[in-house]
Amino acid sequence: MPKYTRFFVAAALGLILQFLLIGTAYGRIHVVGAGESLSVIADVYGVTVGQLVDLNGIANPDVIFPGQELDVPGEGGPSSEYVVQDGDTLSGVAAKFGLSTSELQAANDISDADYIYPGQVLSVPVATAAEAPSGLSLADRPSDPELEALFDEFAAFHGLDPGLVKALAWVESGWQQHVVSYTGAVGIMQLMPGTTAWLEDEVFGYDLHEIDSAYDNIKLGTAYLRILMEATGWNEKVAVGSYYQGHGNTVNGILYNDTVDYIAAVFAVRDAYWP
């Protein structure tokens, strides 16, 4: 199966982005929160996606996962700097870095919190490593009772771990039925047309509506995952890798770097939300 496009969609699911800065030899560490993408993180810190990819040796910029620590270029030590842009407010800048307005005001000896100007350089307090949380930095887990009922139903039917099914679907699409990847994969389970056609012809014996129906999309995706589980001796990680890069490559011992990242993402999400 060709590579999929993954979507971590915070806005659509009402998740709150979480940012944590830690002083390091590179400057800062960002702990990835649920729903974040590299482009969002890059925008917050004023760096490029390419810089984050190069600095962290990321094989596939589409695959990051909650709790992952990313080195961020920038000033190290107890503080960093931010250059005020047109339209910025002190409260808005503070929110970008997970600070209160009073903390940022005090760090810069600003008497009037309503007055900052474009080009002004603000000192941004940075948390120390000792202040880092011991566990993952996560927002509330995804919640959609209707979809979760479908995941549970089909996972039980196929003897799958429902948490694994939910995590795989979350990494694939953010539980969005309307998304279509650049390769043509569709829906919540991001099914390729060829895979769907094979399942309809060889497994179900009738047509399903994977584009319009979340029910049929999950029905097809979980059936395919069950087939891969059986083909890999119920090895969850190998089956998940096969779902991403294709079973032929996986059984032949080929595991691409982005596949390794993808597997890590799926299991990090499952362990965080549905252990």
Averaged pLDDT for residues 224-241: 95
Residue 22 dihedral angles phi and psi, to the nearest 5°: -135, 130
Residue 173 and residue 5 in contact, taking contact as beta carbons nearer than 8 Å: no
Res 224: pLDDT: 98
Q: What mean pLDDT is reported for the chain?
A: 78
**Nearest-angstrom CA–CA distance, 80 and 104:** 11
Average pLDDT rounded to a whole number, residues 82-107: 81
Q: How far apart are CA 64 and CA 84, in angstroms?
A: 29
pLDDT tens digits for range 240-257: 999 998 888 888 888 887
> What is residue 73's three-state secondary structure?
strand
User: Does residue 113 or residue 217 have the better pLDDT?
Assistant: 217
Which residues make beta-bridge pairs with 70?
A: 30
Specify the length of the chain in residues.
275
| Close Cβ partners of 65 (under 8 Å, ≥ 6 residues apart) | 32, 171, 261, 264, 265, 268, 269
Two tokens, residue 250: 């996986």
Residue 256, Cβ density class (10 Å: 0-12 exposed, 13-18 middle, ≥19 buried): middle
Which pLDDT score is estimated for 3? 36
Res 199: pLDDT: 97
- Amino acid occupying residue 136: L
**Whether residue 163 has pLDDT greater than 70:** yes
42: how many CB neighbours lie within 10 A of its CB? Answer: 21
The token pair at 83 is 């250059």
Residue whose entry in the numeric block shows the structure tokens 């995804």: 142
Buried b (16+ CB within 10 A) or exposed e, 149-185: ebbeebbeebebebbbbbbbbbbbbbbbbebebeeeb
What is the Cα–Cα distance from 207 to 199, expressed in whole angstroms? 9
84-99 mean pLDDT: 80
pTM: 0.59
The backbone torsions φ and ψ at residue 59, rounded to the nearest 5 degrees and listed phi first, read -75, -40
**Domains of the chain and any CATH numbers:** 10-131 (3.10.350.10), 145-273 (1.10.530.10)
Predicted confidence band at 167 (pLDDT cuts at 50, 70, 90)?
very high
Quote the tokens at residue 14. 């009402």
* HSE value, Cβ hemisphere, 13 Å, CA-based, for 20: 23
Please write the tens of the pLDDT for every residue from 254-268.
888 778 888 988 998
User: What pLDDT, in 10s, does the model give residues 181-214?
Assistant: 777 899 999 999 999 999 999 999 999 999 999 9
**What 3-state DSSP class applies to 232?**
coil
Partners of 27 in the β-ladder? 73
